[in-house]
Structure 1
Amino acid sequence: ASGVRRLVHVSALGVSAESPSKYQRSKARGEALLRAADLDLSILRPSVIFGAGDRFLNLFARLQAVFPVMPLAGAGARFQPVWVEDVASAVVACVMDRGLPRSSVGQTYECAGPDVLTLADLVRLAGRCGSRQRPIVPLPMVVGRLQALMMELAPGEPLMSRDNLDAMSVDNVATGQWPGLRDLGIRPAAVAAVAPTYLGGHNSRSRLLALRRG
């Protein structure tokens, strides 16, 4: 309506109209609508995004600071976590659209980090870097769905939902069928290299950031 033609759309890795997850089906419908429009479109599909202030690794670090064990549904679900700054750089690269092997207009990019990790791996990393690493107790999916239902009924934004579990039933990793961050000139950062710089608030960089805020 405002005459804007150039659009960079941030979708999600694993989108599919046949996905068991409502979230991923909604992302697929969004992509389809934009592709049908008369736009100069680029689509980014990030895996789970991590970074300072995230509600992913920080959440697992806080939980392990409180609970003696971590009951975890979908412990074997596989992710390819991507740093928020790499996703932001991908948006900029698409908008600038200079120095790339080919124009980003009309392209779909899978934004994923260099490592494939299970949910259990990520929980352990969050505990080790952010608070303390607790033993993980894998939950059967039927028990996990009951746990997620209880969280949905609790006040506030749920920590986990049944739709989250539905999404984790499909691996959230790059398929290789689409270009990736390296095609945008970005070398993706590993979660193990970045997460220690912001988890827990006990390292030198965290102390410097706190001083700057003060």
Structure 2
Amino acid sequence: MSIRRVLLVGGAGFVGSHLAHALSARGIELRIPTRRVERARHLALLPTADVVGADVSDPAALDALSRDVDAVVNLVGVLHSPEGVPYGPAFANAHVDVAGRVAEAAKRNGVQRLLHVSALGAASDAPSGYQRSKAAGEAAVRSAFGTAGLSILRPSVMFGPGDSFLRLFGQLARRFPVLPLAGAGARFQPVYVGDAVAVMLRALDDVNAQGQCLTMVGPQAYTLEELVDYAARQVGCPRRIIALPEGLGMLQARLMELAPEPVMSRDNLRSMRQDNVAPDTPLPYGVTATRLEAVAPRYLADVSVRAGYSPIRTRARRGEGWY
């Protein structure tokens, strides 16, 4: 299958920006919708990109966006939502409703290839609303699009230039002498965004995709405490980390939820009850997984240069998640 034009839904974020650069370098035409065009200024400079002001929750807008494209990549995701059962309203909208509408529009318009980015740990009986909504989103996509030409990607947390995962920890270490940390023992297997993009590029070219579910993890697992300590040392600010018991961590997270852009939520902590790892799982398509230590020092050095920025303001401005 020849991919010439791709619709990137959620393409203005961290992962989408990396994927857009890689696709543009291949000469592939890109259609990148966003409700706030100013967020995608950096992508408008790409020679093959068309940044479009659009609301992807609107089926009519999605129909117009999906016409005459060979593939659709759905990267829409949020980290926080008001509480709800089985998941909060923001999760329901972004992970289930929008995902289903994107798949429906792709099907109506004859799109042959759909990549849907979910999350490692997605399951209907998972401990957090985030994970349960990701599983519901996968089901909505399968129901609307079918299995032929569909790949669902389940990454662990992603790191790389522009992330709000390790960079956030580094920024916090520069601002606070002690770091009380909820979920300190939770284990993650971070995957380099460049490797995730390499898998996506190969998946787009995979003419044999029939409802594949692709797991994307890095070569090594770390506890959250180890990751925070590593980021702090890389920005030249080693800090004492105080592991909080879950009850106290939940209280801390509840207070953080009152901020305009929370760093942590109670639902995030519920996700951490289940390790975000997939031991002995190689990256798909033979992509070689990159070690965190081979990449992170280069871009964490930038945190020291920009030490005056508020980590919460920086994260809010970029609109990034941990994936």
TM-score normalised by L of structure 2: 0.58
**Local SS of the residue matching 1:158:** coil
Q: 1:107 — aligned with what?
A: 212
Per-residue CA deviation, residues 49-103 of structure 1 (Å, 9 max, x unaligned), is 11111111111101111111110011000000001111111110100127xxxx3
Q: Give the direction of change, closer, same or farther, for the CA distance of 1:40–1:104 in structure 2 (3 Å limit).
A: closer
Q: 1:149 — aligned with what?
A: 254
In 2, the alpha carbon distance for the partners of 1:174 and 1:165 equals 19
By how many angstroms is 1:202 displaced?
A: 8.0
Amino acid at match of 1:145: M
Amino acid at match of 1:14: G
By how many angstroms is 1:10 displaced?
A: 0.8
Q: Where does the alignment leave 5 or more consecutive residues of structure 2 unmatched? A: 1-107, 305-323
Q: 1:120 — aligned with what?
A: 225
Q: Give the direction of change, closer, same or farther, for the CA distance of 1:175–1:115 in structure 2 (3 Å limit).
A: closer
Q: 1:159 — aligned with what?
A: 263
Q: 2:272 — aligned with what?
A: 168
Deviates more, 1:110-119 or 1:29-38: 29-38
Name which structure has the greater RCO, CA cutoff 8 Å, separation 6+. Answer: 1
Q: Give the direction of change, closer, same or farther, for the CA distance of 1:2–1:175 in structure 2 (3 Å limit).
A: farther
Contact 2:173 2:239 in 1 (8 A): yes
Q: 1:195 — aligned with what?
A: 296
1:24 pairs with one of 131, 144, 148: 131
Q: 1:72 — aligned with what?
A: 181
Amino acid at match of 2:210: V
Contact 1:61 1:200 in 2 (8 A): no
In 2, the alpha carbon distance for the partners of 1:158 and 1:61 equals 16
Please give the residue correspondences for 1:39-78 in structure 2 after superposition, counting only pairs within 5 Å: 39-78=148-187
Amino acid at match of 1:123: V
Per-residue CA deviation, residues 99-136 of structure 1 (Å, 9 max, x unaligned), is xxxx3432211100000100001001101112311011
In 2, the alpha carbon distance for the partners of 1:115 and 1:126 equals 16
Q: After TM superposition, which residue ranges in structure 1, 4 or more long, deviate above 3 angstroms?
A: none
In 2, the alpha carbon distance for the partners of 1:141 and 1:202 equals 29
Two-structure CA RMSD over aligned residues (Å): 1.7
Q: 1:15 — aligned with what?
A: 122
In 2, the alpha carbon distance for the partners of 1:66 and 1:148 equals 19
By how many angstroms is 1:151 displaced?
A: 0.8
TM-score normalised by L of structure 1: 0.86
Q: 2:236 — aligned with what?
A: 131
Q: Where does the alignment leave 5 or more consecutive residues of structure 1 unmatched? A: 204-214
In 2, the alpha carbon distance for the partners of 1:202 and 1:151 equals 22
By how many angstroms is 1:175 displaced?
A: 5.6
Contact 1:79 1:117 in 2 (8 A): yes
By how many angstroms is 1:201 displaced?
A: 2.1
In 1, the alpha carbon distance for the partners of 2:301 and 2:185 equals 25
**Local SS of the residue matching 1:26:** helix
The number of residue pairs the alignment matches comes to 195
